[in-house]
A and B are shown apart, each in its own frame.
Chain A
């Protein structure tokens, strides 16, 4: 509002710095993906494309398994998100709205799980999944992604549940509504922004997961995007055009989802924590 001039200058300078820091790499990648190869590796880089070609995209979708990876990733991330929500919402409701013995201990265990070094369970999980025949199957990845997203998701819902006035719930109880009905008809609609935030968090967690997907999936046809894409990096003589096109396509789905409900996610993280 009323800022002194030097403060305004500093603000604009910092803002420009961050826009460059975050935006420029993305701009270079996206604009690079439509440049002809000679321009990509030119000694004097161009800020705006001087050439236009779709050859990298053509190669990406016709000569590589990229479309398969994309579909696998969407399947895994989509199911992980759904399952995370189905598990996290009831659990969070019970943790923060109901009284039961050992609540504190269980909640702390969940928080501890968040800090867990995931690589520790990689080796035993491989053995476990081998026993139940889940190696090289996408559900194995869903199980892992859900486990990693759950602790933070439950924690994130806390502030949203806390924001619902006790009176609303009490009124429903007075009317004789059973607990489950209260959860479904009263709480879930009221914490919808929180649910959107958790959904984005779970989706991003699954969409970006690399380590487990690289170890638990063996056949090329079941690879997710991060692993399949990293394979493309080594497979060809570094073909920057192809990589930049692949990177651009991997960015698009998350940007699309984020453009739709991203604002909810951010205010979920910030305003949710206020209460």
Chain B
């Protein structure tokens, strides 16, 4: 028995070491960096205590970015869960070609983000592109829309592009939850004369709700971290209208070279996200215990 414990540790250790070296240790260093005043990577800094935190929390840049991050996360959660739910309900039906559809729905998720960016930059572009000419042809607008021209349209467009990329992945996770619901339940309800909507409302929805909550939590984490789509499409603009926390961190570190401030913002962002994760998993645990 003693030997098998040692073996178990030996099997887990390599993975844990990699995670500790590439995530754990850098996190400790980020905290250290946030308590110092460092400008150039690798140069020694002076200890300044919580000065950076006072400075960051006292300024408006952090709060603006935090606000935009919340808008970003909520909008993405709503749009991508809605799209994913409908897609999953369809893929759970039986029809010719359903297996092909189940496989290839994920297409948008497996191509590099930069390709997603090129696709949508082109489609939404005001010169050439596809969307503007189509909108004009159909008479909906009379001149090209600058999708990335104002803060709000830019944010909305970004949310659309990001959700477009992520909803297939979420859809497959929901599908996993759907296939767990026994067919007999639906069959019995059908025999009792329940229509499709009633069956969805009374059987599918209550049984699916826990899965949706878990996915909403995972989706929140994933979309909070999204940087590349925003950076490559708008660079946080226009007028800072899409400068979420990851964009602000990147800009502070690699455009303004204020490393300690960037580390401070990133520690604050981590605390925010971890607090959310802990509260969410607690709530889920309690939910699970009651059931």
Contact = CB atoms under 8 A, between A and B. Distances in A.
Interface of A: 1, 3-4, 7, 11, 14-15, 18, 21-22, 25-26, 28-29, 32, 40-45, 86-88, 90-91, 93-95, 98-101, 103, 106, 109-110, 112-128, 130-131, 143-144, 146-147, 150-151, 154, 179-180, 200, 204, 207-208, 210-211, 215, 225-227, 229-230, 233, 240, 243-244, 246-247, 250-251, 254-255, 258, 262-263, 265-266, 269-274
Given A106-B12, A179-B4, A113 B19 contact: yes
Contacts of B110: 200, 204, 207-208, 254-255, 258
Query: What is the interface of chain A mostly: helix, strand, loop, or mixed?
Result: helix
Nearest to B40: A127
A127 B100 CA distance: 46
B228 A210 contact: yes
Interface in B82-102: 86-87, 90, 93-95, 99, 101-102
Given A122-B253, A247-B118, 4 more contacts: A45-B134, A119-B269, A210-B227, A229-B112
Nearest to A17: B86
Query: What is the interface of chain B mostly: helix, strand, loop, or mixed?
Result: helix
A121 B176 contact: no
Given A22-B107, A121-B30, A204-B109, A244 B122 contact: yes
B42 interface: yes
A126 B121 CA distance: 30
Nearest to A200: B110
A154 B134 contact: no
Closest 6 CB pairs of A and B: A41-B128, A124-B26, A124-B29, A147-B22, A121-B26, A273-B176
Contacts of B140: none
A241 B224 CA distance: 33
B90 A11 contact: yes
B4 A143 contact: no
A262 B8 contact: no
B112 A94 contact: no
Given A225-B112, A269-B176, A270-B172, A14 B19 contact: no
Contacts of A207: 110, 112
Interface stretch (B57-65, B147-155, B201-209, B258-266): B258-266
Contact of A123 (B177, B227, B253): B253
Contacts of B113: 208, 210, 226
A263 to B, nearest CB: 5
Contacts of B22: 121, 125, 143-144, 146-147
B266 A94 contact: no
A99 B8 contact: yes
A195 to B, nearest CB: 15
Contact of B128 (A26, A40, A210): A40
Contact of B269 (A11, A90, A120, A124): A120
Contact of A15 (B16, B101, B103): B101
A90 B15 CA distance: 9
A198 to B, nearest CB: 12
B25 to A, nearest CB: 7
Contact of B108 (A22, A151, A250, A265): A22
Given A144-B22, A271-B179, A230 B168 contact: no
Contacts of B254: 215
B130 interface: yes
B12 A121 contact: no
B277 A230 contact: no
